[in-house]
Amino acid sequence: MKTQLVLIIVFVIILIIKPSSASSSTTTNYNVLSFGAKPNGVVDSTKAFLGTWNAACSSSSNRTILIYVPKGRYLIGSSLAFQGPCNSPAIILRIDGTLVAPSDYHILAKVDSWLTFHQVDGLSVLGGSLDAKGSSLWACKSGAAAANCPSGTTTLKIMNSNNINIRNLLSINSQMFNIVIHQCKNVNMQGVKILSAGNSPNTDGIHVQSSTNVEIRNATIKTGDDCVSIGPGTKNLWIEQVTCGPGHGISIGSLGKDQVEEGVQNVTVLNTVFSGSTNGFRIKTWGKPSNSFVQGIRYIGASMKNVQNPILIDQNYCPQQNCPGKDSGVKINDVLYQDIKGTSATPVAIKFDCSSKYPCSGIKLQNVYLTYRNRQVAQSSCSNVKGSSAGLVQPDSCI
């Protein structure tokens, strides 16, 4: 009986150990330190990171690849492209340290992106920080010689890639856009945090364009431009539990700058918080002919705290001089605003400025309660819009 008991205990231990042993045997590990990366923030580790990626990506093994970046600060002194496709069905980039750009913004400011993943399938980026050192470029753009300043670079760009997971990534001090998702399918982002100054120009938090089935959840975004910007060709986008402010809100567009342009459809935004932002939910299109469109948009559950334009459709968008001044050709249809409450920093809390040639249609307000400062009555403004309201709507609906 005693022997049988011992055998049972041994068998149970084997069952407990076996899964972790099997897991390690199906993963091939690559450490950037082994390829010469230096975690001191001084020595340029660009070649070491590229060498690590090339070795991992070209591995003939069918195992999951783990690329590990230990704690420390790693100077990435030039544009770094992680090129696919790779042989492995899954690559995990685990970052416990911080990737740091050069202090001199001129080094990167003329390239499209600092860090780029291209044609990669099954990528997971877990943790880590990206410090693009953009504050000196922001200062240049706000100074007397702003016309001579370079435009800057995007911190992280993922292009032509599928089945992407990004978890708990921190992006700070981006020169321009923080994260761009372009021509991708099946992207899941959770726990992303983005920090840039409220006066930092063109530092969109997350930009999605020409992509399908993208999810953004549990993100905190503080920036000088749109917290989330949604460009042409975006389809099936899910945004949930995003906190925005400072920033320019969650914006669809701008659309219609080109006469032939893809539209935006099936966007759901749930349970968001806006604090001190320029906008809350904004749709912006150029006042010129275009075949673009916006349809199937759901804004549900939002808290607005001192937001300048909580709900805005602007079909005469023009952030520059010499505006086209024509009727926007972008057709906006089927947009729901539901369960939205809070305070507007301006008297007009709801503004629909739609195209006279193609009026907005299917606009619905349901249980929207927005007040002006100190609970004063706010106003709504409507031009060329058709729709309906239901439940408690304050300010009074002008639809």
Q: Which residues are catalytic?
A: 225, 248
> Do 97 and 135 meet the contact criterion of CB atoms below 8 Å apart?
no
d(C-alpha 192, C-alpha 170), whole Å:
6
Parallel/antiparallel/unpaired status of strands 293-307 and 385-394: unpaired
Angle at 365 between CA 362 and CA 367, to 5 degrees: 155
d(C-alpha 352, C-alpha 133), whole Å:
38
- 262 φ/ψ angles, rounded to the nearest 5 degrees: -70, 160
Q: How many residues does the chain have?
A: 399
Q: Hey, CA dihedral for 79, 85, 121, 21, is it positive or negative?
A: negative
d(C-alpha 155, C-alpha 101), whole Å:
9
> Do 157 and 115 meet the contact criterion of CB atoms below 8 Å apart?
yes
| Max CA distance (Å), the chain | 92
How many other β-carbons are positioned within 10 Å of the β-carbon of residue 145? 8
Residue 229: closest CA among 292, 221, 121, 116: 221
Q: Identify residue 15 by its one-letter amino acid code.
A: L
> Do 306 and 275 meet the contact criterion of CB atoms below 8 Å apart?
yes
Angle at 202 between CA 199 and CA 208, to 5 degrees: 130
Kindly state the tokens that stand for 378.
Answer: 């706010």
